[in-house]
């Protein structure tokens, strides 16, 4: 674990070591396992990974959850560089055949919440039975939307971060720790 890294034109310093991230995911997976213990092979839960950032988090959850599930993916995006554009773009649409399913949206980070609101609206339009939000990180100082965040692994301040799936202009996703912009 390097104390500082450089991606493109920005320097980042260590913020959350991988060991802390793993412990938070362990605790979150325990809650999910308790809440979805009634899932069956005939009625599996849909884990809906929001690409690309949540891939690492979803993979870690998959190793820990014990209930029957189906993994699906979609991609909505609003970021360019270090800022949210405020505009939600659908790059990979929701998968088909979600009607009547229980869906857990797996997000890497929730800050403005625009993507989560759009995702919940899309799932409602798809007539899912139930949808819950599961996120690795939330910025409570920024998140002011009405959509409940059902499963949150960690809260962080409103800072720009990379690592553990999160990127800066597509770089840094493969770093196992989380780094914060060194201002």
Residue 16 pairs in a beta bridge with: 178
Catalytic residues: 111
Tell me how crowded residue 31 is: count the other CB atoms within 10 A of its CB: 13
SS3 content of the chain, % helix, strand, coil (to 5): 20, 40, 40
Helix (H, G, I), strand (E, B) or coil at 64: helix
> Could you give the CA distance from residue 70 to residue 40 in angstroms, rounded to a whole number?
11
> Could you give the CA distance from residue 149 to residue 151 in angstroms, rounded to a whole number?
6
Residue in this structure with the two tokens 């913020």, named with its chain if needed: 15
Under DSSP, the state recorded for 44 is: P
The residue count of the chain comes to 183
């Amino acid at each position: 674990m390097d104390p500082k890294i450089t991606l493109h034109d920005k320097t980042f310093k260590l913020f959350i070591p991988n060991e802390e991230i793993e412990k938070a995911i362990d605790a979150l997976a325990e809650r999910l396992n308790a809440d979805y213990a009634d899932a069956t092979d005939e009625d599996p839960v849909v884990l809906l990974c929001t690409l690309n950032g949540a891939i690492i988090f979803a993979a870690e959850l998959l190793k820990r959850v014990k209930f029957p599930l189906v993994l699906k993916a979609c991609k909505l995006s609003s970021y360019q560089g270090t800022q949210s554009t405020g505009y939600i773009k659908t790059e990979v649409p929701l998968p088909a055949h979600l009607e009547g399913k229980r869906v857990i949206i797996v997000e890497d980070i929730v800050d403005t919440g625009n993507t989560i609101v759009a995702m919940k609206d899309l799932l409602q339009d798809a007539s899912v039975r139930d949808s819950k939000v599961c996120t690795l990180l939330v910025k409570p100082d920024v998140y002011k939307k009405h959509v409940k965040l059902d499963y949150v692994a960690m809260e962080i301040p409103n800072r720009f971060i990379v690592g553990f799936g999160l990127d800066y202009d597509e770089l840094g996703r493969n770093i196992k720790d989380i780094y914060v912009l060194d201002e």
